[in-house]
Structure 1
Amino acid sequence: MIDQLTHEKTSFQKTEFPIILLLDNITSEANLGSIFRLADAFGVHKVIFCGTRPNLKSNRLKRTARNTYNTVNFEFQEDAVSSINILKTEGYRALALEITSNSKNLHTFELNQLDQILLIAGNERHGISEEVLKLCEEFYHIQMFGENSSMNVAQSVGIALYEITTGFNKFHKK
């Protein structure tokens, strides 16, 4: 018989990666709750909410986040541009998760062992703002195989965090 494991019985090792997730005006409480869970699951160092302050009293956010809003390091900054500029001076590599005229397939993403990643995701309807895109050094998209050209922001953040943390894990296993 196969036993389904509880949170307490898994063998997962708690790990924090040098990843900051900057959310450029993401407003959906369900997406924000999902992103809290993803940040926890993938060992994100910090989440920075920019533009619209998240409603941490929202039942929808709380249900979706499943208490991770109490354990994930996060902050709110009005201005995404100044936050990005500060993090870039601290050595963070600014990556936009956005379909652009020069974005590359996320599967081609390469990581150096000492990289610090600033992963930027944008608004559910309009994506990353133009002023924020101008500050990004690299642009990545998720290859799509259906008729739609985009997916939900929380889902795309999950896929991106998987790719990035897989890269970091290769260095830890050597």
Structure 2
Amino acid sequence: MRKLNMAELGRKSVAEVKSSEKIPIIVVLENIRSAYNVGSVFRTSDAFLIEAIYITGYSAKPPHKEIKKTALGAEEAVSWQHFPSATEAIATLRAEGYMIYAIEQVENSTYLHNLDWQPGQRIAMIFGNEVSGVEQTTIGLCDGCVEIPQLGMKHSLNIATAAGVVLWDLVRRTLINETNVKG
């Protein structure tokens, strides 16, 4: 085996990413304390061609040096909007026909692998504060809550890690669907 060099990786330019067809997933960040976590979510969203990030509350937003440090330029390629609150972001998402889920451990949550979502359907995934999670009032506005199964002693993941797990699962389903369609 040999590592691929940058030319072999076929990296897209910012303009190419912006004009690429996106997976209809919107990431909503609610009151994220760490700008590094926000930057990491930008980088993951770029990697998976996610439609957009909605930044809410006091979460840091570009331009910000800590976002830039972890996003490594993805903040220039991924579409984003800021909303004063998650409630306002959810109202916009509802008007645009998105299913809305909080990533949170609640009564009757759905494990990620059991989520009834079909690739191509519009979906928004809300990730909450590093300490308090998604606000209860926000949860009440969602279609449901999705939980990442966790088997060890700790039952929480860093928000950037949780976003990577959730987004990969949804993108993986999209890739499998496309492979099956193409035959």
Q: How does the TM-score come out when normalised to structure 2?
A: 0.86
Q: Which ranges in structure 2 are unaligned for 5 or more consecutive residues? A: 13-19
Counterpart of 2:53 in 1: which secondary structure? Answer: strand
Work out whether residues 111 and 168 of structure 1, in 8 Å CA contact, stay in contact via their aligned partners in 2.
no
Between the aligned residues of both structures, percent identity stands at: 28
Q: How many residues align?
A: 173
Give the letter aligned to residue 5 of structure 2: L
| Per-residue deviation, residues 58-110 of structure 1 (Å, max 9, x unmatched) | 43321111011111100111021122023123210001111111112111123
Q: Which whole-Å deviations, capped at 9, do the CAs of 1:99-142 have from their partners, x for residues lacking one?
A: 11111211112322441011111011110011110011121111
Q: Deviations over 1:33-76 (max 9, x none)?
A: 10110110111111010001515344332111101111110011
| Structure 2 SS opposite 1:45 | strand
Do residues 85 (structure 1) and 91 (structure 2) align?
Answer: yes
Runs (5+) with no aligned partner, structure 1: none
Read off the aligned partner of 1:10 and give its amino acid letter. Answer: L
TM-score between the two structures when normalised by the length of structure 1: 0.91
Out of 122, 128, 141, which is 2:128 matched to? 122
Deviates more, 1:49-58 or 1:121-130: 49-58
Pairing of 1:1-80 with structure 2 (within 5 A): 2-6=2-6, 8-10=7-9, 15-80=21-86
Distance 1:47 1:9 in 2: 29
Task: Give the deviation of 1:145 after TM superposition.
Answer: 1.5
8 Å Cα contact 2:23/2:120 also seen in 1 = no
Q: Give the counterpart letter for 2:47 in structure 1.
A: A
Alignment-derived partner of residue 154 in structure 1 = 160
After superposition, residues 90-169 of structure 1 pair within 5 angstroms as: 90-169=96-175
Higher helix share: 2
Indicate the RMSD between aligned Cα atoms, in angstroms. 1.9
Structure 1 distance, partners of 2:66, 2:80, is: 18
